[in-house]
Structure 1
Amino acid sequence: MRNLLILLVFFATSFGFSQELNCNVVVNAQLTGNENLQIYKTLEKQLTEFVNKTQWTKRKFKPQERIDCNIVINVTGQSGENFEASVQVQSSRPVFGSTYTTPVYNVNDKDFSFNYLEFQNLTYNENQYESNLISVLAFHINMVLGLDAESFSKEGGDPYFKQAQRIVNYSQQENFKGWKLEDGLQSKFALIDNILSPTFSDFRTVMYNYHRKGMDIMSTNDKDAKNEIALSLAYFRKMNANRPNSYLTRVFFDAKAEEIEQIFSSGPSVDVTTLIDLLNRVAPTHASKWRNIKF
């Protein structure tokens, strides 16, 4: 009987727990000149456990559905419990019928200062501010979850984007940068405001069409896939006309520019004249990549 109870507990914990992420967390403190301090190793270990073991959603994720992501925290300064840093967050998703993974999210958030006491408890409450450290990570994780969902289902990211917006709203009570309108056009406020704005509704169509109608058929019909990807990118023309050089557009192309270059520089030839003109207009910072598109 005792062994049966242990077995039941094991299955309850194994199948009742919803782990959504396979996330590699790195804390890099080289710029402080004290990168070997134990506190940075402790922080890295705690954050790895926090990000990967927190239940972020009410969905049940199968092991193969977990989202691969990387979080790199670059600490630039420390004074006691106060840390100055930036955080790079990247995520990807598998492409149907292949071993290739396509990048989805790539953000370098420079508005990241936080307080941390070694071994302090790290807990997430979706409706309540805990700390700027928790809020920043939870915001980006919800963006990762939302964009991943958008790439599989039209407007599938809604619950995660709305949670990211809640995090922005309750984090404004503190004096940390990145949460308010006045913090600029490349803040967390601007990013979630863009993605939920009707002005950028076409962005979500891009996310779905690019991945489901484009990337996911690449292994069976790469020419049709390339044409679908080109058609999906055409939506940026209208978005750019309404809001030139938006942060949301930059985030998309920071993740996708290298992939777009590779897609249209090999394989079956498709007409890319209009596409190259579009790319140079909406993502001019990646012009060196667009020059490599030869087909």
Structure 2
Amino acid sequence: MIKKLFLLVILCSLQVAVAQELSCTVIVNSDQVNQTNKQIFKTLEKSLNDYVNQTKWTNRTFSVKERIECSMMITINKYENSAFSGTIQVQSNRPVFNSTYQSPVFNYQDKRFTFNYVEFAPLYFNPNVFESNLTSVITYYVYIILGIDADTFVKEGGTPYFKQAQNIVNLSQGSGYAGWQQTDGNRTRWELVDNLLSNTFKEYRLALYNYHRLGLDNLVDNASLAKQSIAGSMKLFDKLNNVRPNSFVLQAFFDAKSEEIANVFSDGPKVDIVKLKETLNEIAPLYSDTWSRIKY
């Protein structure tokens, strides 16, 4: 009995030690491709799931319950020989203390996703040189997910991960693939990580911490104080919006958070709802219908 108990303890310890950082569902949707043989898309999907979930991305130790819940939906709209073209939708969640709720923290669709892939070819990322747009884009978003998640727990805790993502951008700029350069237009991978690391957007990262760590994590114990912290985060966003209106990071935040914000302020202890709604309509007017659900 003692030997069995000892073995169980060892196995549990190993499970905690080897647990990776992400619990990510990667889906490859090929419905738009007129292709009889769908096996290559299934193979790609499995390979990407293994790559994202079995790679050790940081030097931190995560328990199984600490793994970041996220997803990547790759929609292929064109496939010929080994060339793929489509979009990738990236989403990630963060657990809220003293609850079973998973709060959405990132939700973005990258429409510039082209890559080459040969079935059964191993997926490998070289941090020192550009070799594959497939693994470069996937790895970039892994570090974005890790960075944003870290920022919600520790002030500017995501900096090391954002720098990893920026390094991928720097390596990829000469690849010829779209989305890596500043000149590729708005809402590029270059712009996202540049915003995240720029001192100009420091209010955004502080607001992430205040919203989650001081706000959501305290809703159960002190709802009034928690709501004040969340409302205060909107004031930080307003300050940023006055300097950089309609910025990438603000749009991405409200794409993920609009429903949650409306739900938080729709019941329980009240804050200054009039001022809050004015601020929300100023910084995120696309969600005016959602803000209208917040009652005085």
What TM-score bracket applies, with the shorter chain setting the length? over 0.9
User: d(CA) in 2 for partners of 1:101 and 1:10?
Assistant: 28
In structure 2, relative to structure 1, the CA distance for the partners of 1:29 and 1:223 (3 Å cut) is same
Tell me the TM-score normalised to structure 2 length: 0.93
State the 1:20 CA deviation: 0.5
Unpaired segments ≥5 residues, structure 1: 1-6
Paired amino acid for 1:22: S
What's the % identity of the aligned pairs?
47
Aligned to 2:30: 29
State the 1:273 CA deviation: 1.0
Contact 1:18/1:60 (8 A) holds in 2: yes
Task: Give a deviation string over 1:60-104, Cα, whole Å, max 9, x none.
Answer: 111111100011001011111111110001000110001111111
Query: What's the C-alpha RMSD, in Å, of the aligned pairs?
Result: 1.9
Aligned to 1:64: 65
Tell me the TM-score normalised to structure 1 length: 0.93
User: d(CA) in 2 for partners of 1:251 and 1:80?
Assistant: 34
Contact 1:39/1:118 (8 A) holds in 2: yes
How many equivalent residue pairs?
289
Contact 1:96/1:217 (8 A) holds in 2: yes
- 1:121-270 → structure 2 map (5 Å cutoff): 121-270=122-271
Give SS of 1:31's match: coil
State the 1:59 CA deviation: 1.0
In structure 2, relative to structure 1, the CA distance for the partners of 1:35 and 1:135 (3 Å cut) is farther
User: d(CA) in 2 for partners of 1:156 and 1:147?
Assistant: 8
User: d(CA) in 2 for partners of 1:48 and 1:42?
Assistant: 10
State the 1:127 CA deviation: 2.8
User: d(CA) in 2 for partners of 1:185 and 1:214?
Assistant: 31
State the 1:33 CA deviation: 3.2
Contact 1:22/1:69 (8 A) holds in 2: yes
In structure 2, relative to structure 1, the CA distance for the partners of 1:46 and 1:265 (3 Å cut) is same
State the 1:232 CA deviation: 1.1
Unpaired segments ≥5 residues, structure 2: 1-7
Give SS of 1:112's match: strand
Give SS of 2:76's match: strand
In structure 2, relative to structure 1, the CA distance for the partners of 1:240 and 1:96 (3 Å cut) is same
User: d(CA) in 1 for partners of 2:47 and 2:274?
Assistant: 50
